């Protein structure tokens, strides 16, 4: 018998995504995916009692909102991939970030937040956190000096997303970690688009890394999930305070689906990247296209940072078109595309595309004005087509886009 995945530094990510966290392997055991423990509760003579306040790290399985064997395996595997000590899984990426921010912040505290990030996070910061007395400053996280300028004596937390949705703008994790720590704050990084195969924020100095497991880590678009990875004591506190008490726990069957997706993460991300490279090159030369944003391209304004910080450039790109044609082209794409699906989300095996008008997202989610709004427009124009490049043949993807774009 042996214990795959426990000697983490000696195993590559492709191996960890298949084996990490399995524990002792006994002769004669099946080699298919571990079962989904779809039960709500367990019987055990050493049960901890009625209150989760008595929960200890070595407590037996008792209630699935507190812990579950399928969730435990997923969390160990995610921690191994990120080279963190522990992970906590949640029902969605938004549940993970919400739990982390409410765990870290209280009335009178200050949060520094990327001004371009997942729309749900931006709206949480704008609409919900201030109601609890939490101050929020939005900054262009691609400029570390802007993060430094936003720090205050009461800044307790900094949250950035890199690459940032939807314009693929990057944040220098190591530089921002130093700024946050010098100011007495902690840093969390949403690395959903990059995945652990691209960037390991904890190794660059971040205190927490957040993932929407719904996207690339699941890979099939059939399960919602989220996770936070970090120090063991921090994850224990997060689990007890805001996972158990806010109730956003991951369902065991969803965890099972995500574990299944993780088994093919490495080959999927390699093909996502290879296909995105081909699609980006096609779009960059198309006469209707104004600009293309993909970190793996030398045309990306921050490609040098991407080359330092990312080992895989992922499959998400964005492009804008000339002469205000975006809305009409979006309608044409929805009608004409045969391989791509005109749909939201990203990270699925099948290719997706969706148009995000700049005026709409600046008004509804980001709420940027003045120079900040102009900076976003420099990247996005009047709107971007967010393209989640899937695993189809690259020639078929290019032909599909070519037919929809027209001459």
Cβ atoms of 115 and 357 within 8 Å: the answer is no
DSSP state for residue 264 in the 8-state scheme: T
Q: Where are the alpha helices (DSSP H) in 198-300?
A: 232-238, 252-262, 265-284
* String of DSSP letters for 287-318: TTEEEEE-TTSTTSTTHHHHHHH-S---SEEE
Active-site residue identified among 8, 65, 332, 367: 65
**E-only strand ranges, 322-397:** 341-342, 352-357, 383-388
DSSP label at 25? B
Looking up tokens 């078109």 gives: 321
Q: Is 118 a catalytic residue?
A: yes
Task: Find the catalytic residue in 109, 140, 190, 372.
Answer: 190
| CA dihedral of residues 8, 9, 12, 16 (deg, nearest 10) | 10
Neighbouring residues of 227: CB distance < 8 A, sequence distance ≥ 6: 74, 75, 78, 87, 88, 89, 90, 96, 210, 211, 213
User: Is 190 assigned a catalytic role?
Assistant: yes
350 included as an active-site residue:
no
Q: 378: which residues sit within 8 A by CB, 6+ positions away?
A: none
For the question of residue 215 being annotated catalytic, the response is yes
Residue 257: both structure tokens together? 């689906």
389 close to 283: Cβ distance less than 8 angstroms: no
CA distance 248 to 278: 39
Phi/psi at 12 (5° precision): -80, 165
In angstroms, rounded to a whole number, what is the distance separating the alpha carbons of residues 382 and 301?
Answer: 18
Options 77, 109, 118, 200, the catalytic residue: 118
C-alpha span between 172 and 356 (Å, rounded): 25
The catalytic residues are 65, 118, 190, 215
């Amino acid at each position: 018998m042996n214990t795959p995945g426990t000697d983490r530094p000696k195993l590559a990510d492709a191996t960890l995504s298949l084996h990490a966290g399995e524990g002792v392997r006994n002769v004669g055991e099946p080699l298919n995916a571990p079962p989904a423990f779809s039960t709500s509760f367990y019987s055990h003579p050493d049960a901890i009692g009625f209150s989760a306040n008595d929960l200890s790290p070595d407590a037996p399985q008792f209630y699935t909102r507190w812990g579950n064997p399928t969730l435990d395996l997923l969390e160990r595997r995610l921690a191994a991939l990120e080279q963190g000590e522990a992970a906590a899984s949640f029902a969605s990426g938004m549940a993970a970030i919400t739990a982390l921010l409410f765990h870290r912040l209280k009335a009178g505290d200050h949060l520094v937040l990327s001004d371009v990030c997942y729309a749900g996070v931006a709206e949480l910061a704008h609409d919900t956190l201030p109601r609890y007395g939490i101050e929020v400053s939005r900054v262009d996280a691609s400029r570390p000096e802007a993060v430094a300028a936003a720090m205050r004596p009461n800044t307790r937390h900094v949250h950035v997303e890199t690459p940032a949705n939807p314009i693929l703008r990057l944040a220098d994790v190591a530089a921002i970690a130093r700024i946050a720590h010098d100011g007495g704050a902690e840093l969390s990084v949403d690395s959903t688009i990059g995945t652990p195969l691209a960037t390991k924020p904890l190794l660059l100095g971040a205190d927490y890394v957040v993932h929407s497991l719904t996207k690339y880590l699941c890979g099939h678009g059939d399960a919602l999930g989220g996770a936070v990875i970090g120090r063991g004591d921090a994850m224990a506190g997060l689990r007890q305070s805001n996972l158990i008490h806010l109730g956003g726990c991951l369902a065991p069957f969803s965890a099972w689906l995500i574990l299944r997706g993780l088994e093919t993460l490495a080959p999927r991300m390699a093909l996502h990247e290879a296909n995105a490279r081909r699609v980006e090159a096609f779009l960059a030369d198309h006469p209707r296209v104004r600009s293309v944003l993909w970190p793996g391209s030398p045309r990306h304004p921050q490609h040098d940072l991407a080359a330092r910080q990312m080992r895989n450039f992922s499959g998400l790109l964005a492009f804008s078109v000339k002469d205000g044609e975006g809305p009409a082209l979006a309608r044409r794409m929805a009608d004409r595309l045969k391989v791509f699906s005109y749909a939201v989300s990203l990270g699925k095996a099948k290719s997706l595309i969706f148009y995000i008008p700049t005026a709409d997202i600046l008004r509804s989610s980001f709420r940027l004005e003045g120079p900040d709004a102009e900076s976003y427009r420099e990247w996005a124009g009047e709107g971007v087509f967010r393209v989640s490049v899937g695993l189809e043949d690259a020639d078929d993807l290019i032909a599909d886009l070519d037919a929809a774009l027209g001459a």
